[in-house]
Amino acid sequence: MGTVVEAANKEAPGSALAQKNPKIVFVLGGPGSGKGTQCAKIVEHFGYTHLSAGDLLRAETKSGSENGTMIQNMINDGKIVPSEVTIKLLERAILENENDKFLIDGFPRNEENRAAFEAVTNVEPEFVLFFDCPEEEMEKRLLGRNQGREDDNIDTIRKRFKVFLESSLPVIEYYDSKGKVRKIDAAKPAEEVFETVKALFTPVSDKAAA
């Protein structure tokens, strides 16, 4: 059961990920802030690969692998999956992909995730894209969308907001202190939000030419 974590701990000094030296952007924002919509647009316009930590964990549990069974058991027991496990899945997805530009969506979820990612991979993000959206607006969007998600009820939504604020804001503050946070006003319509996002991803030389 400890194989993934052990492997992660052994690789730290000059990890394969550090050797690949990918351009990584962490994408953070509360539930309903529009992260998914904007990530899809960034992928389409700028050729990034979009990785969701949650999707990778779900895919691994469905794969029937030893790792997947361990993750499922931990979730069933109400335990938090160790950071190293999620990081190994992210690392594998990046190394197996020929692209060198990645959006990592919904990760790091907390300071422990962040510290573990940098320790295990020896890689820091290029920057952090933070979709800042008022709670009332996110609430309205989540209640208005009809995706059949059981967790889109008012009590659960408010709990998710609370968890996001308590766990993710310290990550944002840490990267902000290093000048790496790009804060986006995500309360605007999606097209307007993307105009702001686009400016962050357009190379300086292209802006000059325009």
pLDDT tens digits, 39-85: 999 999 999 999 998 899 999 999 888 889 988 888 788 777 889 99
CB atoms under 10 Å from CB of 146, counted, come to 7
Residue 141, marked binder: no
Residue 114, marked binder: no
| C-beta of residue 10 within 8 angstroms of C-beta of residue 119 | no
Residue 149, marked binder: yes
What is the reported pLDDT for 149? 56
Residue 9, marked binder: no
Please state the φ and ψ torsions of residue 62, each to the nearest 5 degrees: -80, -15
For residue 92, pLDDT over 60 is answered with yes
Q: pTM to 2 decimals?
A: 0.82
pLDDT level of residue 146 (50, 70, 90 thresholds): low
**In whole numbers, what is the pLDDT of the chain averaged over residues?**
84
Torsion of CA 72, 78, 83, 88, to 10 degrees: 0
Tokens found for residue 142: 């989540």
Which tops the pLDDT comparison, 187 or 163?
A: 187
Residue 80, marked binder: yes
Determine the Cα–Cα distance for residues 159 and 190; give it in Å rounded to an integer: 25
Residue 113, marked binder: yes
Residue 160, marked binder: yes
Residue 81, marked binder: yes
pLDDT level of residue 196 (50, 70, 90 thresholds): very high
Q: Mean pLDDT highest for which of 25-39, 137-151, 194-208? A: 25-39
Residue 158, marked binder: no
For residue 14, pLDDT over 70 is answered with no
Cα–Cα distance list, 22 to 5, 27, 101, 197 (Å): 22, 15, 6, 20
Which tops the pLDDT comparison, 146 or 142?
A: 142
Residue 107, marked binder: yes
Q: Above pLDDT 70, what percent of the chain?
A: 86
Residue 108, marked binder: yes
Q: What are the residue ranges spanned by the domains of the chain?
A: 22-49+101-199
Which H/E stretch holds residue 130? strand 127-132
Residue 37, marked binder: yes
Considering the domain 22-49+101-199 in this protein, what is its CATH number?
3.40.50.300
Instruction: List helix spans (H) across 146-189.
Output: 154-177
Residue 58, marked binder: yes
